[in-house]
Amino acid sequence: MKTGQKWGTVTLAITAALIIAMQGCSAAKESAPGPIKASTPAEEAVREIAMKHFVDGSIYELKGEYAQSVLEYQDALRYVKDPAIYFALSKGYSQLNKHALAIDAAKESVRLSPENLVYRRNLAGIYAAALEVDAAAAQYEEIVKRDSNSVDIWYNLARIYQARKPLQALEVYEKILDRFGPEWEVLLQIAELNNSMGKFDKAAQALQQMAAMDPGNMQLKRTLAQTYVRAQKLDEALAVYKELRDLNPENLEYLSDAATVHLLKREFAEAAEQFEEVLSRDTVNLDTKLHIGEVYVTQLEKDSSLAPLVQSIFERIREKHPEDWRAYWFLGVIGAAAHNDSLAIANLTRVTDLANWNPDGWVYLASVLLDKNKNQETVALLERAAKVLPDDFRVNFYLGIAYTRALKNLDAVRVLEHARQLDPKNIGAISQLALIYDGMKKYDESDRLYEEALKIEPQNHLVLNNFGYSLADRGVQIERALEMAKKAVEAQPDNTSYLDTIGWVYYRLGQYDKALIYVKRAVEKGEVSAVVYEHLGDIYFRLNEKERALEQWNAALKLDGKNSALREKIVRGTP
């Protein structure tokens, strides 16, 4: 068939349909009423012109030439203000993504024919496409008032509400169930909404109904069991898992899930028995075994008595899979948490061998070594890490700390400056570098860095404390130093370093009674450095309690026997 013949046939069909629409046929409830019938030959001629433009516009629309169709509909409206034409025009504008114009035309079609639900549905859809969800919802609500038997309109209304008004969406979905009976998609949306709002009981009820509709759906039942777990209905979850295992006894995922539930119920023997069955099978993949271990790790945080069992699980996995780094990682973490340094160091070292691309292994091992003050070992470790991961922020940051503790300040500056290039806004790197510059008496550099840090985090108590102490120790901006120290102590009132700082600021201000209160409190809190004892001695001296001053200076010397300046202070008996 030739193209011209094809469009000729289509045109005849369209013309017949549109003549019926524009003459006001009311055979269907949602058909568009036409204008008042023309009563004069002149009016009939005008309608015929309008009809021609209308038909031409419809043909262009069928061809996908929406801009041309819009022009024809606009021409039709010059002769007849008919709701059907506005309706067609709105669809053309919508196809051209001209939502505001589409809305105006669709609103006019509804105004001229308010009972026509096709027009209202069209307006609602255009509002939704323009993301005017409240206006779309208002139209859908108006439609269901006039015709409550259209399930798809109810569903559209619920979906409109779902993102912004989930409670109203749930209410509409419930009405759909009451009116039309169980609907799979509706129940699914109810379950998802309740899950997202933490209403796991309600979600489980919806999933139960879905399971009744599709009793052979294993994945659905597993989702139901998992939802029962979230709802803390552990017995109900176990019942579903038992049903799943009876239906498919070879599925180890169901067994593992059920074991996890026993673990949550603190039924450790039952959990161990079922996990043992999973772990003992050679067909079980490594990821499943690791998942079992991770479940135990989660419970270990709540019950430390599980530590030996959790350790044994990962040791078995490590034995079966000696070339996979993940079991070593968990054993290292378990060892660190239990302060079992040999377990932690041995396994984390193996992580760095098997997965040297993973910065977590290097950094976690470094943190364990730093906690044990094994500074030289930490330096050697992280120097190796830096060769593998030269641009990892954490590797450089921790290496900077290790260099600082090893009294290698120039090396510390080098790697910390590189860390700052990798993460310019990192407060930890900025404050650590400032502390080093301060110790090197490069005060211009340290002050600049402290100021930079405070611009990023004005209330960072560590920066406030360190900067305040530096200023006070140098005897500059002491009033500002006091304000910083106050903020730091307010943030952490039991921090001995912060207490010493504010006490030392008061000492520099000559307010020795206040200085004594804070530094004495720092000493009473527990272990403090030699500097704090020395400060307390200086304060006692200014309060004319020289014997107490000597006691504190000697206490400081016991902690820092190589401090020649402190030894000279004791000999001469004055600060």
Mind listing the domains of the chain with CATH numbers? Answer: 182-249 (1.25.40.10), 529-575 (no CATH)
Q: What pLDDT does residue 427 have?
A: 96
Q: What is the DSSP letter of 491?
A: H
Task: Copy the structure tokens of residue 37.
Answer: 């019938």
Highest mean pLDDT (candidates 177-186, 236-245, 458-467, 556-565): 458-467
Q: What proportion of the chain, given as a percentage, has pLDDT over 70?
A: 93
Q: What pLDDT does residue 31 have?
A: 42
Cβ–Cβ < 8 Å for 402, 416: no
How far apart CA 452 and CA 447 sit, in angstroms, is 8
pTM of the model: 0.62
Cβ–Cβ < 8 Å for 137, 128: no
Residue among 257, 193, 187, 190 at smallest CA distance from 228: 257
How far apart CA 413 and CA 190 sit, in angstroms, is 58
State yes or no: pLDDT of 43 exceeds 80.
no
Q: Please state, rounded to an integer, the average pLDDT across all residues of the chain.
A: 86
Task: Tell which wins on pLDDT, 254 or 545.
Answer: 545
Per residue in 414-448, pLDDT (tens digit) is 999 999 999 999 999 999 999 999 999 999 999 99
Cβ–Cβ < 8 Å for 461, 492: yes
Q: What is the DSSP letter of 305?
A: G
Q: What pLDDT does residue 496 have?
A: 95
Close Cβ partners of 85 (under 8 Å, ≥ 6 residues apart): 50, 54, 73, 76, 77
6: pLDDT confidence band, cut at 50, 70 and 90?
very low
Cβ–Cβ < 8 Å for 375, 368: no
How far apart CA 176 and CA 189 sit, in angstroms, is 12
Close Cβ partners of 257 (under 8 Å, ≥ 6 residues apart): 222, 225, 226, 241
Q: What pLDDT does residue 120 have?
A: 83
Residue 345, number of CB atoms within 10 A of its CB: 19
Rounded mean pLDDT of 111-127? 85
How far apart CA 214 and CA 401 sit, in angstroms, is 60
How far apart CA 408 and CA 412 sit, in angstroms, is 6
Task: Copy the structure tokens of residue 510.
Answer: 């000559």
Q: What proportion of the chain, given as a percentage, has pLDDT over 90?
A: 46
Q: Kindly report the CA angle at 513 between 512 and 518, in degrees rounded to 5? A: 95
Residue among 375, 373, 421 at smallest CA distance from 399: 375
Cβ–Cβ < 8 Å for 499, 483: no
State yes or no: pLDDT of 17 exceeds 70.
no
What would you report as the CA-atom Rg of the chain, rounded to the nearest whole angstrom? 39
Exposed/middle/buried for residue 468 (C-beta within 10 Å: 0-12, 13-18, 19+): buried
Q: What pLDDT does residue 20 have?
A: 36
Chain centroid to CA 383: 34
Rounded mean pLDDT of 362-374? 94
Task: Copy the structure tokens of residue 532.
Answer: 């704090």
Q: What is the DSSP string of 462-473?
A: HHHHHHHHHHHH
How far apart CA 484 and CA 54 sit, in angstroms, is 77
Per residue in 270-294, pLDDT (tens digit) is 877 777 777 777 777 788 788 878 8
Cβ–Cβ < 8 Å for 77, 90: no
What do you get for the CA distance between the two ends of the chain, in Å?
111
Q: What pLDDT does residue 39 have?
A: 61
Lowest mean pLDDT among 89-93, 145-149, 217-221, 363-367: 145-149
State yes or no: pLDDT of 32 exceeds 70.
no
How far apart CA 17 and CA 298 sit, in angstroms, is 68
Q: Which residues of 48-60 are buried (b: 16+ CB within 10 A; e: fewer)?
A: eebbebbbbbbbb
